[in-house]
């Protein structure tokens, strides 16, 4: 493409230049610390091809950067780099051509009736999408011919500007609460709102914000989730209306997690997301820990699998799988790189490597597994990835006597998930649900007391039909 445009491709960097580039850094995409706890009726909105759209819309290219004699230019927020709009940049032009080609392929996909052709076209459009999304990364790649740190940091600066604009407008003008943001997308809800109302308002917002965004920038309504929770950045889980669970950063899919750890985490996830019951999830964990302590877990759920990645003599640190492999080798078994060794850790003294045996050799009549090892190193780490987002610590899950996560203590974790609006002596009031202390029913009204601050207790009442479901849940729990 450079040849077609009569462009001279820049040289590859020298080793000295490459090392200099490696020392350069810039700020990436914006990630908002999540609102912890369990949330309901969540929408997910994200930008369609955010970084490629920014590159094209603002003509971000090394050949348009700070161009002398330029009359029209866009200035990147925060970093201040100028990109000329008088001439089309080489990279934005190339990227625009790719996106046009992808759109043509997607149109063909809709028109064709041939299932094989549809699959092939889908592969092509996905390949182009992957290539288009790599352009921003190429600007920051130290060995790239068209390396441009100013371009890369301008793209992310515009990205931060647009996602923060969406956040501000969504909360201030449409009444949403943004729960989590990561680079080009966000999760949000309307505290106490009904699902259909939230969907409708989200679609209205998308139409509204797209009318304000420049060029190719476009926000999309990506999905609705009936429930979800957010633990920390990059760690969350949501469930859609069909019951499909989507997790990020919580998965324990590697072979070196035992089946009992994977199974317990899956049960905890399902209990919280499908039933909204954190207390039951905790009960499940305690039950599993108790069964482990009582040696009631079958050996097939205890096996841990790890791969031999090099010849045994090259290992300096001897892990359990290597120790077991060496025992097998001593018996004449040929051990090669790529082999997967399954082992179970036995009760006893000394290093774990000395107490690991081949999973197939474990006999419940002869052997006792190390219950403490499986509790501390398998089950608890797997479930704490989730439950620490609800205020639980390791010691809370290990012992029977733990605090209950229910009523106000649980809702405190959820922060301002819901509020109660009511009139008191003719004055409109709104109280965060986490401040409510006691709830009771009087006819068709729900009465309550709440913490006003400064040691004062306030009173309020709301009709049952206007009461948020969190208040009704508190009422039911107090009955019990």
CA atoms of 395 and 221, how far apart (whole Å): 41
- E-state strands within 124-270: 177-182, 185-189, 219-232, 235-240, 245-248
DSSP 73: E
Task: Please tell me the predicted confidence (pLDDT) of residue 6.
Answer: 66
Task: Please tell me the predicted confidence (pLDDT) of residue 413.
Answer: 39
- Which residue has better confidence, 440 or 383? 383
185, β-bridge pairs: 46, 182
CB 452 within 8 A of CB 458: yes
Right CATH for 418-479 from 1.10.3720.10, 2.40.50.40, 3.40.640.10, 2.40.30.10: 2.40.50.40
**Domain 24-235 grouped into CATH 3.90.1600.10:** yes
DSSP 255: T
Q: Is the pLDDT of residue 375 over 90?
A: yes
Q: Is the pLDDT of residue 410 over 80?
A: no
Contacts of 10 (CB under 8 A, 6+ apart): 62, 145, 146, 147
The two three-digit tokens of residue 217, written as one number: 């920038």
Task: Please tell me the predicted confidence (pLDDT) of residue 415.
Answer: 39
Please report, for residues 201, 224, 247, 272, the alpha-carbon distance to residue 196 in angstroms, rounded to integers and kept in the order given: 9, 10, 24, 22
Task: Please tell me the predicted confidence (pLDDT) of residue 456.
Answer: 73
Mean pLDDT of 270-289: 94
3-state secondary structure of 79: coil
Please report, for residues 188, 221, 445, the alpha-carbon distance to residue 203 in angstroms, rounded to integers and kept in the order given: 13, 7, 34
- Domain 303-368, CATH class in plain words: mainly alpha
Region of 289 (left: φ > 0; alpha: ψ -120 to 50; beta: rest) is alpha
Domain boundaries, given as residue ranges, for the chain: 24-235, 303-368, 418-479
3-state secondary structure of 7: coil
Mean pLDDT of 377-385: 94
DSSP 345-360: EBSSSS-HHHHEEEGG
Region of 350 (left: φ > 0; alpha: ψ -120 to 50; beta: rest) is left
Task: Please tell me the predicted confidence (pLDDT) of residue 471.
Answer: 83
Task: Please tell me the predicted confidence (pLDDT) of residue 450.
Answer: 82
**Residues 181, 182, 187, CA angle at the centre, nearest 5°?**
40
Q: Is the pLDDT of residue 326 over 80?
A: yes
**Residues 238, 241, 247, CA angle at the centre, nearest 5°?**
20
CA atoms of 350 and 203, how far apart (whole Å): 61
Mean pLDDT of 77-104: 93
Q: Is the pLDDT of residue 98 over 70?
A: yes
Q: Tell me the average pLDDT of the chain.
A: 89
Share of the chain above pLDDT 90, in %: 71
pTM for this model (two decimals): 0.74
Length of the chain: 480
């Amino acid at each position: 493409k450079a040849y077609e445009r009569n462009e001279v491709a820049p040289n590859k960097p020298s080793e000295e230049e490459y090392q200099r580039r490696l020392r350069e850094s810039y700020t990436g995409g914006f990630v908002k610390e999540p609102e912890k706890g369990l949330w309901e009726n969540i929408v997910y909105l994200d930008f369609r091809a955010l970084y490629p759209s920014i590159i094209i819309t603002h003509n971000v290219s090394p050949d348009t950067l700070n161009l002398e004699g330029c009359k029209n230019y866009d200035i990147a927020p925060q970093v201040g780099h100028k990109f000329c709009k008088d001439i089309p940049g080489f990279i934005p032009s190339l990227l625009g051509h790719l996106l046009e080609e992808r759109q043509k392929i997607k149109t063909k996909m809709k028109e064709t009736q041939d299932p094989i052709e549809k699959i092939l076209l889908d592969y092509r459009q996905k390949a182009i999408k992957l290539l288009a999304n790599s352009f921003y990364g190429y600007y920051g790649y130290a060995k790239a011919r068209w390396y441009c740190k100013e371009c890369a940091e301008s793209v992310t600066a515009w990205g931060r500007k647009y996602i923060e604009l969406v956040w501000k407008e969504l909360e201030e003008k449409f009444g949403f609460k943004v729960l989590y943001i990561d680079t080009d997308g966000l999760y949000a809800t309307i505290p106490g709102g009904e699902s259909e109302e939230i969907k409708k308002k989200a679609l209205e917002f998308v139409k509204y914000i797209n009318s304000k965004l420049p060029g190719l920038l476009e926000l999309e309504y990506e999905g609705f989730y009936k429930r979800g929770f957010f633990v920390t950045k990059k760690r969350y889980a949501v469930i859609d209306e069909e019951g499909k669970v989507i997790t990020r950063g919580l998965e324990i899919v590697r072979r070196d997690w035992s089946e009992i750890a994977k199974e317990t985490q899956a049960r905890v996830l399902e209990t919280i997301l499908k039933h909204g019951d954190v207390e039951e999830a905790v009960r499940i964990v305690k039950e599993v820990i108790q069964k482990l302590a009582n040696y009631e877990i079958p050996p097939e759920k205890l096996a841990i699998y790890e791969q031999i990645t090099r010849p045994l003599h090259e290992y300096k640190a001897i892990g359990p799988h290597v120790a077991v492999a060496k025992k097998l080798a001593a018996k004449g078994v040929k051990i090669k790189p790529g082999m997967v060794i399954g082992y179970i850790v036995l009760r006893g003294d000394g290093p774990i490597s000395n107490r690991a045996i081949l999973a197939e050799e474990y006999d419940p009549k002869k052997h006792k597994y190390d219950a403490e090892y499986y509790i501390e190193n398998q089950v608890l780490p797997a479930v704490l990835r989730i439950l620490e987002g609800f205020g639980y610590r390791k010691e809370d899950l290990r012992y029977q006597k733990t605090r209950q996560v229910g009523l106000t203590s649980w809702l405190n974790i959820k922060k301002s998930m819901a509020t109660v609006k009511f009139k008191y002596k003719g004055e409109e009031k709104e109280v965060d649900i986490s401040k409510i202390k006691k709830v009771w029913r009087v006819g068709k009204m729900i009465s309550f007391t709440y913490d006003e601050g400064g040691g004062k207790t306030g009173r309020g009442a709301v009709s049952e039909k206007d009461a948020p479901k969190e208040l009704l849940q508190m009422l039911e729990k107090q009955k019990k």
